[in-house]
Structure 1
């Protein structure tokens, strides 16, 4: 309830996924405390969060690192799977709350708290043109592909190719579409984006057509009139959540003959950035569309194919000397 009635450091309500992440971090700590008789530096058996001191947190985070942070290199990937750095960040609001409401000393203010750095991330993987085309073809409009689920999934996949984050897509309302002008609008989700106002997203003609078809079949949904959410579930279910979008992407990739482990909804964001940069769209324009204020984000999203784009750019110059 506390997180649902307060705002973040940017003065905006917390996103539901953020709230869930903070709550789950607290539950994980609670489960650890209840699993065995831990004692803090004062010799007190830990029974609640207010018994937790800096030595307890150091013990907990070391346990998390040793048991949860499994190197992804075992799977041929970089970084770590457990995310002790994320766990450490997600627990911080709990102890800020306890300090504000109950005067409990905040262990995060103690210099003895051991900090864990975020894992070094490798280059994000860009989806190939063949992959995107094949996945789109699975749901492409046709005589036997006009049911609600197929038409919706195709529109979803098309919107993913426009570079939106999963949360931005799932938060779309019907009124956010401006299809005559080939745009839709999204409200920035985090404070580092360039405005608290909605920003327009230019759409490809094929995306507009896919959305028009989806809006037609959407009128047959039981919640079509009562729900403002653009994306509704199959069989009359409520609006889509992230888990549903995640599995839609995985399932359609597998149907197209690809390994579903190689793609997530966010993969399309990196691919979008590469596509635009490769087509000659300026970095300034890419940043404006995505709502980025830092060039670091542009470099991050365009990293995977940066060398190939540079090679293509030089080759396109032809002979520089006769």
Structure 2
């Protein structure tokens, strides 16, 4: 199990006793199919909803755990509309349309389970009336719109190689006058270039990079074994190929991983960092990698570039040479619908290819 899943499962176990019994039953029902991370988000969404019900006087419970099925069963559609308005208009922590859609979807899942699947001792549904069935949740993510937002904000063609080269050499020249920044650069440049190169040559997510262990790497076959997002089989790691271009950076980094970072033998993490004042290194965090990429991106002249946009950069480049199904598998997408983004991103390239064919 990945480090994130282990952490989220512990958080889930702590939060569940604060939920009504029927929510605990729903989470148990979903546990074999959904990751602890997804279920933790569900519970957080229910915390928000039950807290709002109590604040509005729609539940007489003193705590969230005391909210009853009858109180959910007798909710009016006006109340659901009011909750949606609350999510979108509250002054603090205003939610985006995507977040609101996700929170309502979580509620729909719970209400569907209670009204269509769960039964009482007399074989009747736990919830006799499902107000959430009336709620229409519009699709927010459209591949074409997502592609439009990404255009001009990812690396294209030769830029993929240029960015890795910049991390290895160019950044050092740019910060030569800053002793502290230059020292940190010299210490970490091989590791940082290796991380960027690996994402740009495999399309791994940052969470997958963080969870990589040394034993997950098969250099000879250009393979990595990773826990993929949404995969609940905790005994299985998915084999993911990386391009030859990443091999040199991996070999260079591995040759100094122990000596430069004083990495203890017990540390299994592939990518490590040595905190200030610490005698030994430990696994790099997701946040550290995100900050690191942004630092280089700004100096490179791509201020919008992030770790996730490195993944988009790889995917766009990969899609140009492969079909949508291979791209889906390489990226670990649940469906080709998500992968359609890259079809839209490459529209210009495809249209240019058609024109060249016509001219010839």
**TM-score bucket of the superposed structures, by smaller chain:** 0.7 to 0.9
Task: Check 1:12–1:113 CA distance in 2 against 1; reply closer, same or farther (3 A cut).
Answer: closer
In terms of fraction of residues, the more helix-rich structure is 2
User: Do the aligned partners of 1:232 and 1:239 also contact (CA within 8 Å) in 2?
Assistant: yes
Q: What's the counterpart of residue 283 of structure 2?
A: 239
What TM-score does the superposition give when structure 2 sets the normalisation length?
0.66
CA distance in 2, matches of 1:108, 1:229: 50
Which runs of 5 or more residues in structure 1 are unaligned? 72-79
Q: Note if 1:273 corresponds to 2:309.
A: no
* Larger of the two Rg values belongs to structure: 2
RMSD: 4.2
CA distance in 1, matches of 2:228, 2:247: 22
CA distance in 2, matches of 1:88, 1:255: 41
User: Do the aligned partners of 2:31 and 2:39 also contact (CA within 8 Å) in 1?
Assistant: no
After superposing on structure 2, the runs of 4+ consecutive aligned residues of structure 1 that deviate more than 6 Å are: 5-8, 68-71, 92-97, 142-146
Give a deviation string over 1:40-69, Cα, whole Å, max 9, x none.
1xx736642515634565533330023379
CA shift, 1:13, in A, is 6.8
What TM-score does the superposition give when structure 1 sets the normalisation length?
0.72
CA shift, 1:84, in A, is 0.5
Q: What's the counterpart of residue 77 of structure 1?
A: none
Which runs of 5 or more residues in structure 2 are unaligned? 1-9, 17-26, 173-181
CA distance in 2, matches of 1:118, 1:317: 37
User: Do the aligned partners of 1:38 and 1:45 also contact (CA within 8 Å) in 2?
Assistant: no
1:225-304 aligned within 5 A: 225-235=265-275, 236=280, 238-259=282-303, 262-278=304-320, 280-292=321-333, 294-304=335-345
Which secondary structure state, in structure 2, belongs to the residue aligned with residue 266 of structure 1? helix
Q: What's the counterpart of residue 25 of structure 1?
A: 45
Q: Note if 1:200 corresponds to 2:223.
A: no
User: Do the aligned partners of 1:170 and 1:242 also contact (CA within 8 Å) in 2?
Assistant: yes
Task: Check 1:108–1:47 CA distance in 2 against 1; reply closer, same or farther (3 A cut).
Answer: farther
Q: What's the counterpart of residue 75 of structure 1?
A: none
Q: Note if 1:139 corresponds to 2:167.
A: yes
* Aligned equivalent of 1:61, options 84, 89, 93: 84
